[in-house]
Amino acid sequence: MLLMECSNIKKYFGDRLVLDVENLKIYSEDRIGVIGSNGVGKTTLINILSRRIELDEGWVKLYERYSYISQLEEPENRNISNEMASKFGVQNTWDENMSGGEKTRFKLADGFSNNSLLIFADEPTSNVDIEGIELMEKKFGEYKGALVLISHDRNFLDKLCNKILEVEDGRIKIYNGNYSSYVAQKTQERERAEFEYDDYVKEKKRLEAVITDTAQKVKSIKRTPKRMGNSEARLHKMGGQKAKASLERAVKNVEKRIEHLEVKEKPKKEEGIKLNIIDSSKLHSKMIIEGCNINKSFGKKVIFNNAEFNIYNGSKTALIGYNGCGKSTLIKMIMNNDDSIKIAKGAKIGYFSQDMSILKENLTIIENVMESSIYNETFARILLARLLFKREDIYKKINVLSGGERVKVSFAKMLLQDINLLILDEPTNYMDINSLEVIETALKEYDRTLLFVSHDRRFIESVANQIMIIENYKINMFNKNYKEYLASKNKIVDNNKSEIEKQIFVLQNRLSELIGRLSMPSKKDDVALLDKEYHEVLTKVKKLKESI
């Protein structure tokens, strides 16, 4: 069923054409992931498709009711049903004091309450913990309508989408399949473009060589020898002129063939980024950060109770846990030299925080990153170009940049400093996928110690070789990668499930026995006690079943 269609859309910001879309249709079975660089117009596009902003040219038709979920806007309704509140683990009334994750879950619950056939979602996974993202995946997976969602979470796009819509240079292109399928198709496109360009260059060079060779033949046609008589000379000259004319015609024909060759542009090749930190700054301590007897609370709310942890030299540790468990609090305790935490002597910390206080508003991008860089400007420009700041962009001042662009500049500035210990608090929020993958590559090749907080599962899988989990006011260390951590966690869940199923089996046998005795009680049976036990056992069975 067709839910939305649009045609000949044009949207300008000032004199700049932001979007130029010929046509797009959304059907009830579509699950569309919208991707593209920061500032390319993704949010503008879904605002146009949902008719929330006016067009400069073209038209949009919506045929069914829709819901719109945005990180930046309040929900359409400030009250939701108790049932939806329970499903998403939030209160049923909107409260500005809720955490970022709670606000997102509330907006989701509100969006699903509308019984709409189409949902537009703008970065729904930002500021949501891993458990919240998995809940979101489950709810979106169960949803029967169409989805159009902007996200930089590649696992999220893989699990939910059957189409990827790429926004680039104001235009859109649709790829069938999930994000991984999109990457494979883009790789094939790039390989094809490289093959066609090489083929074009080879053919052009071959034809140019033919022209050069033919021109040489023209020059080599001999003049009439002096010993020849007039008649012979005339015949010789005529033959030479004919040969020369024939060769010149051949040259012109080849030149026309070159003109008619389909010109192929050289595919862009991305520069690699490798941070070769100077050896003198390397830490030699076995233990880089050590926490012992950590206690922290805010009023009556306990965050840590006699917790401890160790970060070893060269490890890349992902700090995970549900929203509000104390991840950012622990990072701040490390940065503030809390008495319960020791940091190796000689540590030079590069710290990324979401307030981006590392940036100076009145300086340009290049001035900001070079202010404390130990690398030359050429290397800094390469890194910025990979983060999609090219040519004149690097001379923009910080105060005109979007939130996502500021994140990238802040990150670049930190990476270029003289550091040997990286501590990152949610570095991937609001960063486009291209830039995220650049940062991912740089961190995988970084040969110093790294501690980072993230809810991006693909990022954690790619970078971390150690997992640090905050649970029940403690800090637990898992000295393997994220996939192995999940496998271990699932094994525990499976073991618990097996044990619960055994308990249910025993209790159900007891229920059968009680039903039999209640239906035909003996003289010795106390029916009231049997009835009481029956209801108690029945309640236990229900609770155990709910737990699995």
The CATH number that applies at residue 464 is 3.40.50.300
18: which 2 tokens?
């932001």
Within this chain, do residues 327 and 437 fall inside the same structural domain, yes or no?
Answer: yes
- pLDDT exceeds cutoff 60 at 279: no
Choice among 2-6, 85-89, 238-242 with the minimum mean pLDDT: 238-242
Let me know if residue 274 belongs to a domain: no
What backbone torsions phi and psi does residue 302 show, to the nearest 5 degrees? -85, 130
The amino acid at 280: S
Contacts 24+ apart (CB under 8 A), 536-540: 537/507, 537/510, 537/511, 538/511, 540/507
Domain boundary (455, 479, 503) is at 479
CA pair distance 51, 68, nearest whole angstrom:
11
Which alpha helices (DSSP H) does 416-526 contain, by range? 433-445, 457-463, 482-519
74: which 2 tokens?
């309040």
Within this chain, do residues 463 and 494 fall inside the same structural domain, yes or no?
Answer: no
Within this chain, do residues 231 and 327 fall inside the same structural domain, yes or no?
Answer: no
Let me know if residue 271 belongs to a domain: no
Let me know if residue 364 belongs to a domain: yes
The stretch 19-29 carries a mean pLDDT of 92
Within this chain, do residues 173 and 196 fall inside the same structural domain, yes or no?
Answer: no
417 touches 374 (CB < 8 A)? yes
Within this chain, do residues 347 and 285 fall inside the same structural domain, yes or no?
Answer: yes
The stretch 332-350 carries a mean pLDDT of 90
Within this chain, do residues 339 and 300 fall inside the same structural domain, yes or no?
Answer: yes
In terms of average pLDDT, the best of 84-88, 257-261, 411-415 is 411-415
The stretch 438-466 carries a mean pLDDT of 89
CA pair distance 306, 387, nearest whole angstrom:
41
Choice among 18-32, 449-463, 482-496 with the minimum mean pLDDT: 482-496
Sheet holding 474-478: strands in order across? 349-352, 421-425, 449-453, 316-320, 466-471, 474-478
Q: What is the pLDDT of residue 533?
A: 83
| Other beta carbons less than 10 A from residue 297's beta carbon | 12
Q: What is the pLDDT of residue 172?
A: 92
Domain boundary (454, 479, 504) is at 479
pLDDT band at 81 (very low <50, low <70, confident <90, very high): confident
The stretch 200-221 carries a mean pLDDT of 78
Residues in the chain: 548
Let me know if residue 270 belongs to a domain: no
Within this chain, do residues 504 and 455 fall inside the same structural domain, yes or no?
Answer: no
Q: What is the pLDDT of residue 325?
A: 86
Q: What is the pLDDT of residue 98?
A: 78
Give which of 491, 496, 492, 507 is closest to 542, Cα–Cα.
507
Within this chain, do residues 414 and 513 fall inside the same structural domain, yes or no?
Answer: no
CA pair distance 289, 241, nearest whole angstrom:
88
pLDDT band at 506 (very low <50, low <70, confident <90, very high): confident
- pLDDT exceeds cutoff 90 at 360: no
Domains of the chain: total: 4
Let me know if residue 384 belongs to a domain: yes
- pLDDT exceeds cutoff 70 at 218: no
Q: What is the pLDDT of residue 95?
A: 85
The amino acid at 120: F
Query: Coil, helix or strand for 303?
Result: strand
What backbone torsions phi and psi does residue 474 show, to the nearest 5 degrees? -115, 165
Q: What is the pLDDT of residue 240?
A: 55
- pLDDT exceeds cutoff 70 at 225: no
Determine which helix (DSSP H) or strand (DSSP E) holds 366, and give its type and residue range: helix 365-370
Q: What is the pLDDT of residue 432?
A: 82
pLDDT band at 234 (very low <50, low <70, confident <90, very high): low
Q: What is the pLDDT of residue 274?
A: 57
Range of the structural domain that residue 230 is part of = 187-260
Let me know if residue 265 belongs to a domain: no
Only one residue has tokens 């210990």, namely: 421
| Other beta carbons less than 10 A from residue 259's beta carbon | 8
Within this chain, do residues 440 and 538 fall inside the same structural domain, yes or no?
Answer: no
What backbone torsions phi and psi does residue 315 show, to the nearest 5 degrees? -80, 155
148 touches 128 (CB < 8 A)? no
93: which 2 tokens?
């009334």
Predicted model pTM: 0.73
- pLDDT exceeds cutoff 80 at 499: no
Mean pLDDT, the chain, whole residue set:
84
Contacts 24+ apart (CB under 8 A), 354-359: 354/407, 354/425, 354/426, 354/429, 356/406, 356/407, 356/410, 358/410, 358/413, 358/414, 359/398, 359/406, 359/409, 359/410, 359/413
The stretch 322-340 carries a mean pLDDT of 89
Within this chain, do residues 342 and 295 fall inside the same structural domain, yes or no?
Answer: yes
Q: What is the pLDDT of residue 88?
A: 80
Domain boundary (177, 204, 232) is at 177
CA 250 vs. chain centroid, Å, equals 55
Within this chain, do residues 157 and 24 fall inside the same structural domain, yes or no?
Answer: yes
Let me know if residue 122 belongs to a domain: yes
Let me know if residue 239 belongs to a domain: yes
- In percent, the amount of the chain with pLDDT more than 70 equals 90
pLDDT band at 60 (very low <50, low <70, confident <90, very high): very high
- pLDDT per residue as tens digits for the range 150-186: 998 999 999 999 999 999 888 999 999 999 999 999 9
Q: What is the pLDDT of residue 513?
A: 83
- pLDDT per residue as tens digits for the range 283-319: 788 899 999 999 999 888 889 999 999 999 989 999 9
Within this chain, do residues 321 and 394 fall inside the same structural domain, yes or no?
Answer: yes
CA pair distance 444, 464, nearest whole angstrom:
8
- pLDDT exceeds cutoff 60 at 269: yes
